[in-house]
A and B are shown apart, each in its own frame.
Chain A
Amino acid sequence: MSTLFLQMMNALSYGFLLFLITCGISLVFGILGVLNLAHGSLYVLGSYVGFSIIMKSGLPFWFALLVVPFVIAIIGLIIEIILLRPTYKLGHLSQVLLTFGLAYIFHDLFSIIWGKNILAVSPPEILNHSVEMMGYMIPAYRLALIAIGCVIAILLWYTQEKTKWGAVIRAGLSDKEMVGGLGVNIHLVFTLVFFFGSLLAGLGGVLGSPVLGMYPGMEFQILILSLVVLVVGGLGSVTGTFVASLLVGFVETFSRFFVPELSLIITFALMAVVLVVRPQGLVGRRI
């Protein structure tokens, strides 16, 4: 019974970690419809910049948590304005090519600046211990991730559902020109959303780094993982991504526990099953 409790906690904390990693791409791709294959790179960039601040400059973790997302967001902003804008009218395949190119560039930049070795970040002092729950040790940092994940989920859900931003973006996806004709600068909206998506990538990068570390090529793993969670939840809603993160967290954790041989296949199998049964994901809107 109590091992099950432990696995529940593991699943929960892993699920929230997934959510923190995916919420950025959920915003940028799921809601904005921009297929940014460099999103994983922005996440990893967040981790690396965080590493430089925390481990190299010795500044506190919290400082990095505050600064890094903005650094990444500004980089995202520049990418959006200079490179992505022209691709909106060209379509997704051009975005695939462009952002894949970006991911390649980032890959080399990372190894030039931070080397090719594996790096890790220590969690902040006060969370750098484990908490005992029902006789099991659980890292305090993981518990903190659950709390932060909840806050972000609520904020995102609120902005999407309760403000008109979500609606403007959805409108822009179906007819950008018309949105302009109704007096909304849709380019600005897109840029802002991309900014926030990158901000979340940076945030995820900092928050994820104590658990996942960073190493060359990590961005592609993060990317695929995010895309899987994204489609399981369905494009178009943060709620979907949230649900999917937890679902994937639970399924992966428990499958590792009960049928470890299948753990490599399980996420993809889950995704395939979800898509076959519900072709637009669990909570996805038909866009």
Chain B
Amino acid sequence: INTATKSDDKGKKENDSADQTIKIGALLPATGVYASLGENVNNGMELYFEEHNWEVAGKKIEIVHEDSEADPQVSLRKLRKMIEQDKIDILTGPISTAVAYAIRDDVDKNKLPFLVSHAGGNDLTRSKRSDYIWRSSFSSWQIGHSMGQWAFNNVGKKIYLTAADYAFGHEVVEAFKEAYTNAGGEIVDEVYPPLGNNDYSSYLGKMNRDDIDGIYAFFAGSDAVRFVQQYEQYGLKGKIPLIGSGWLVAEDVRPQQGNAPEGIKSSIFWDYSLETEENKKFVEAYEKKFNKRPSIESLEGYDAAAIMAKAIESLNGDVSDPTKIVEQISSVELISPRGLIKFDKDTHHVIQDLYIVETVVVDGSTENKVIDTISQVVDPGK
């Protein structure tokens, strides 16, 4: 049996070098709560490869899509399919951190280069680090930590913490807490509503107190919509400043929030409004192709595609050796729409700028505006 599988392995390699297409596996959710994130990452990748005629270093690029359903069990099944059936050369995805952790061992065992284009779990580039896993998006730590000092300087000395009760929320808030208290701030209290909570009124009631200078919130998706709306409806807006991660006021949730997010300040590694050449070009192309604004996940997809393309290029299209692929990925350095990005070779994690963004009302609807930059944030890796 052993020999059978081994020869199978060899077959794979031979096939690939003969083949003229490079297969990229995209393990992204197409159904369920995270479906829109998956769709946006996909769009970003497609935009990039379309701009390059789906060709890199003379080889055709093919994306193999599999619906992860944001479910680790399903994802693992799909991953195995992509490895065995589709014989993908590089993997990207997967949105959900739980999925990333679940497939980590199989990826590692199979020596499959895996460029994480969205999944924040700190451990992925810490205790669960693998030679074959590199992350181009962000870590929870980067998001939370970046705002600590800033909040102490610009918001106040006493802050109330709140986050959706799941690992991502906790990690972000922990990082913020660390930075903020180190800076000298005091966390007055914290509360963790469950993920997918539909009524924040009682939590807001707890936060509605006079002895705090602000609220730091981590919510995303429908939670962000509801939280920010109810923050306004229950009269906290204008009374207690709200800060948080960029997902609180992300491109794809703001339209649903009305004018409620006005004045929220958040930290994030890209914003629609960034005034760089690269970003303007990206935004324009994206809007032309998809007829809607890019979201941060679109950018993540776009960047991931760019990084993979760069790596393949420097290998002249020879993707037969996975160690070489990851080596090349690790050396990619580029000016992306989000600014300069490169990899930290120790942690396998991206080094990037973080922006402090304020939400303002322009012509009756909200826009984000970059008000500060924290440059080249490096995840500590432990």
Which A residues are closer than 8 A to B by beta carbons?
Answer: 3, 6-7, 10-11, 13-14, 17, 107-108, 111, 115-120, 122, 130, 132, 136-139, 141-142, 211-213, 215-218, 221, 252-254, 256-257, 260-261, 263-264
- With A117-B252, A119-B256, A213-B226 known as contacts, the answer to whether A257 contacts B206 (CB < 8 A) is yes
Known: A136-B235, A137-B233, A213-B226. A118 touches B36 (CB 8 A): yes
Q: Given A6-B205, A221-B196, does the pair A264, B36 have CB atoms closer than 8 Å?
A: no
The interface bits of chain B over 179-212 (1 if a CB of A lies within 8 angstroms of the residue's CB, else 0) are 0000000000001111011110111011010000
A215 and B222 form a contact (CB under 8 A): yes
Q: Are A212 and B226 in contact (CB under 8 A)?
A: yes
For the complex formed, measure the closest distance between the CB of A261 and the CB atoms of chain B, giving whole angstroms: 7
Residue numbers in A under 8 Å from B322 (CB-CB): none
Closest residue of chain A to B209, judged by CB? A3
Q: Give the docked Cα–Cα distance between A215 and B235 (Å).
A: 26
- B219-262 contacts to A (CB < 8 Å): 221-222, 225-226, 229-230, 233-235, 252-253, 256-258
B313 proximal to A (CB < 8 A): no
CA distance A138 to B201 in the complex (A): 9
Question: Does B327 have its Cβ within 8 Å of any Cβ on chain A?
Answer: no
Q: Is the CB of A118 within 8 A of B192?
A: no
Of all chain B residues, which has the CB nearest A264?
B194
Assuming the A-B contacts A130-B234, A136-B234, A263-B193, are A120 and B35 also in contact, with contact meaning beta carbons closer than 8 angstroms in the complex?
Answer: no
B31 CB-CB contact with A under 8 Å: yes
B108 on interface, CB distance cutoff 8 Å: no
Q: Could you list 14 examples of A-B contacts with CB < 8 Å?
A: A17-B199, A111-B31, A111-B35, A117-B36, A118-B252, A120-B256, A130-B233, A137-B234, A211-B199, A215-B36, A216-B32, A216-B35, A221-B196, A260-B206
Q: Known contacts A216-B31, A216-B32, A263-B193: does B222 contact A118 (CB below 8 Å)?
A: yes
Q: How far in angstroms is the closest Cβ of chain B from A249?
A: 9
**B66 is an interface residue with CB less than 8 A from chain A:** no
Q: Report A229 CB to chain B, min CB distance, Å.
A: 13
Question: How extensive is the interface on chain B, given as a class?
Answer: 35 or more
Taking A118-B252, A120-B256 as contacts, is the C-beta distance between A260 and B234 under 8 angstroms?
no
Q: Which of B191, B226, B234 has the most CB of A within 10 A?
A: B234
For the complex with contacts A216-B35, A256-B203, A257-B206, 12 further pairs of A-B residues with Cβ separation under 8 Å are: A10-B202, A17-B199, A116-B38, A117-B36, A117-B252, A120-B229, A139-B230, A213-B222, A213-B225, A213-B256, A252-B199, A253-B199
Residues of A close to B165: CB separation below 8 A: 264
Nearest B-chain residue to A141, judged by Cβ: B233
What's the minimum C-beta distance from B192 to chain A, rounded to whole angstroms?
A: 7
- Residue picked from A138, A141, A211, most chain B C-beta under 10 Å: A211
Question: How far does the alpha carbon of A216 sit from the alpha carbon of B301 in the complex, in Å?
Answer: 21
Residues of B within 8 A of A118 (CB): 36, 221-222, 225, 252-253, 256
Bound CA–CA A154/B39 (angstroms): 45
List of A residues within 8 angstroms of B221 by Cβ: 118, 215
> What is the minimal beta-carbon distance from B365 to any residue of chain A, in angstroms?
12
Residues of chain A with a CB closer than 8 A to B199's CB: 10, 14, 17, 211, 252-253
Q: How far is the CB of A102 from chain B (nearest CB, A)?
A: 16
Contact A120 B225 (CB under 8 A): yes
The 9 tightest CB contacts between A and B, nearest first, are A137-B235, A120-B256, A116-B36, A139-B233, A10-B201, A116-B35, A256-B202, A264-B194, A257-B202
Contacts of B39 in A (CB 8 A): 116
Cβ of A144 to closest chain B Cβ, rounded Å: 13
Give A22 Cβ to nearest chain B Cβ, in Å: 13
With an 8 A cutoff between CB atoms, is B33 at the interface? Answer: yes
Alpha-carbon distance A91/B165, docked complex (angstroms): 39
On whether the beta carbons of B226 and A115 are closer than 8 Å, the reply is no
Cα distance A170–B32 in the bound complex, in angstroms: 37
Give min CB distance, A40 to chain B, whole Å.
13
- B253 in contact with A14 (CB, 8 Å): no
Chain B, residue nearest A17 (CB) = B199
Residue from B33, B38, B257 within 8 A of A215 (CB atoms): B33
